[in-house]
Amino acid sequence: MAGNHDAASQITKHLRLPDNTTLFSTRKPERIVLDDLGVSICGQGFATRAVTDDISQDYPQGDPQLLNIGLLHTCLDGKPGHEPYAPCSVDGLRSKGYQYWALGHVHTREVVSQDPWIVFPGNIQGRHIREKGPKGCTLVTINSGEVTDVEHRDLDVMRWAHCELDVSASESVDDIYEQVRECLQSASDATEGRLVAVRLVLKGACAVHSKLHADRERWVQEYRALATGLGGAGIWLEKVSIKTKPSVSVDEVLERDDALSGLLRAIRDMELDASVLDILADEISLLRQKLPAELLSGDDPFDPSSPEFLKETLEDIKELLVNRLLSTENEA
Q: What is the dihedral of CA 187, 190, 194, 198, to 10 degrees?
A: -20
Which alpha helices (DSSP H) does 54-117 contain, by range?
90-94
Query: Would the pLDDT of 205 be above 80?
Result: yes
Query: Would the pLDDT of 330 be above 60?
Result: no
Domains of the chain: 10-154 (3.60.21.10), 157-247 (no CATH), 255-332 (no CATH)
Residues 92-102 have a mean pLDDT of 96
Q: Which residues contact 226 (CB under 8 A, 6 or more apart)?
A: 177, 180, 181, 184
Q: What is the dihedral of CA 166, 172, 173, 175, to 10 degrees?
A: -60
Q: Which pLDDT belongs to residue 332?
A: 47
For the ranges 2-11, 118-127, 156-165, 208-217, the lowest mean pLDDT is seen at 2-11
Which residue from 75, 39, 43 is spatially nearest to 58, judged by alpha carbons? 43
Q: For residue 116, is the peptide bond before it cis, meaning its omega torsion is within 30 degrees of 0?
A: yes
